[in-house]
A and B are shown apart, each in its own frame.
Chain A
Amino acid sequence: MKQSQINYIFLSLSLVAIVIATYCLFKIQTTPTQNAFVDLVYLYKEFNYTKERSVVFNEKTRPLNLKLDTINMQLGYLMAQDTENDLEYTSFLVSYRDSLNTYAENLKAEYDTEIWSRINTYVQSFGKQNNYSMIFGGAGNGSIMYTDSTINITQDVLNYMNEKYEDK
């Protein structure tokens, strides 16, 4: 075999090796391998959607809170009087107060479900777009005790969520 033929084969093999190496490198880079952490409490508080929904929630519950304040005042007055005649009225007020509280709690839960569903949707799409294999959510309840600040992507995720929500 001539030297030029050997050189040719060698060169071809080198080229094939370079192509395979480039492909592998590309594959490694595009395969999700990163893990990251987000502070869910911060995300929830600073998300524009939460802020807007809170305004609506407060407006909706303002008359309810006024009613609750009145009931509590009346109950306080009745308790101070300590008369047995008012027992029936007191129990009525207590049950009315409880039903109002339950209504407010249910309403809050409804709003929260809506907000968390939106946060989940946006965090998922952020993870997919940025090739994260896993994003941990810390809620300050001790489930995640420590994370390195380099993997804390809370601010990036918050910016992404707000931009997505505002359609900017």
Chain B
Amino acid sequence: MRINKYIIFLFSIWIFISACGPDKLTAPEYMEWVANPENGLRRKQELGMVTFIVQYKPTDYMIAKTILKDGKLDENPDSLRQKSTITVFDIHITCESGSIHPYYYNNRNPQAIEQRQRYYHFSIQDDIYAKSGSQEFRPLYCRAEHGALMNNTLTLECGFESIPTSEDISLIINDTQLGSGIVKFNIDKSALSHIPTLKI
């Protein structure tokens, strides 16, 4: 009887401790968690006919993606986490609820279309920056995803030198092509501090 009580007590303590610790999620669960707007890492701004969605991608997100894609990890996840010195965002741009690709939104002239394509492939990097506290960060790279014409969404991936997560992170885009002007996205520090760990 006394042993049973002891076991129940230990079991309760174990449940209590595991509830207090950071969540551990499998790769698909992790991807789903990060993409869920309720968790604060995915922000949306609608400006007239133009919609911007920004996705903050933690290091474990990349690891989870690799696991889902390749089925395994070639490197130790902890060393991967330590090596990761960049902060990555995905930016998804849609126009008129996805009925037209941003390249062609209010744009019919072939030369202007080409100019817009060039802008998103080479120049948009100059019009994007991130802020954390009083620090400003310029992107190390910004690349437009190829083959995104299929779903009328323009997807850009932007990498920054590691941005501290102790403060809110703001991503600021001053898109000069779609007439939206400056658009800000705020990733709250409370959201950043509650990111679960990937179970590997």
A165's contact among B43, B179, B184, by CB below 8 Å, is which? B184
Q: Which residues of B contact A168 (CB under 8 A)?
A: 186
Q: Complex formed: what's the CA distance from A117 to B180 in Å?
A: 9
Q: Are A166 and B48 in contact (CB under 8 A)?
A: no
Shortest distance in angstroms between A67's beta carbon and chain B's nearest beta carbon?
25
Instruction: Report A64 CB to chain B, min CB distance, Å.
Output: 20
Tell me whether A84 is interfacial, beta carbon within 8 Å: no
CB-CB < 8 A to A165: which residues of B? 184
In the bound assembly, the distance between CA atoms of A53 and B184 in angstroms comes to: 14
8 Å CB contact of B179 from A52, A115, A117, A166:
A117
Which B168-184 residues sit within 8 Å CB-CB of chain A?
170, 179, 181-182, 184
Min CB–CB distance B92 → chain A (angstroms): 15
B residues 63-87 with Cβ under 8 Å of A?
A: none
A167: interface (CB < 8 Å)? yes
- On chain A, the number of residues with a Cβ less than 8 Å from chain B's Cβ atoms is 13
Q: Does B47 contact A (CB under 8 A)?
A: yes
A34 at interface, CB cutoff 8 A: no
Interface size on B, residues (CB 8 A): 12
Tell me the smallest distance from the CB of B2 to a CB of chain A, in Å: 56
Q: Chain A 105-145 against B: per-residue CB contact (8 Å), 1 yes, 0 no?
A: 00000000011011001000100000000000000000000
Given known A118-B47, A121-B47, A121-B48, contact A167–B181 (CB-CB < 8 A): no
A44 on the interface (CB 8 Å rule)?
no
Is the pair A118, B181 in contact by a Cβ cutoff of 8 Å?
yes
Q: From DSSP, what is the main secondary structure of chain B's interface residues?
A: strand
Q: Bound complex: CA of A166 vs CA of B171, how far in Å?
A: 10
Taken together as a complex, chains A and B put the C-alpha atoms of A114 and B50 apart, in Å, by 14
Assess whether A117 is in contact with B181, with CB atoms less than 8 Å apart.
Answer: yes
Q: In the complex the two chains form, is A114's CB within 8 Å of B181's CB? A: yes
Most chain B beta-carbon contacts within 10 A, residue among A53, A125, A165: A165
CB distance from A75 to the nearest CB of B (A): 36
Q: Are B181 and A49 in contact (CB under 8 A)?
A: yes
Cβ-defined contact, A167 with B184, below 8 A: yes
Taking the nearest CB of chain A, how far is it from the CB of B111, in angstroms?
21
- Residues in A with CB closer than 8 Å to B186 are 166-168
Nearest-neighbour CB distance to chain A for B54, whole angstroms, equals: 9
B89 within 8 A of A: no
| Ranked 7 nearest A-B pairs via Cβ | A167-B186, A114-B181, A167-B184, A167-B185, A121-B48, A121-B47, A166-B184
Q: Which residues of chain A have a CB within 8 Å of any CB of chain B?
A: 49, 52-53, 114-115, 117-118, 121, 125, 165-168
Chain B residues within 8 Å of A, Cβ to Cβ: 43, 45-48, 170, 179, 181-182, 184-186
- Extra contacts besides A166-B184, A166-B186 (19): CB < 8 Å: A49-B181, A49-B182, A52-B182, A53-B181, A53-B182, A114-B179, A114-B181, A115-B181, A117-B48, A117-B179, A117-B181, A118-B47, A125-B46, A166-B170, A167-B43, A167-B45, A167-B185, A167-B186, A168-B186
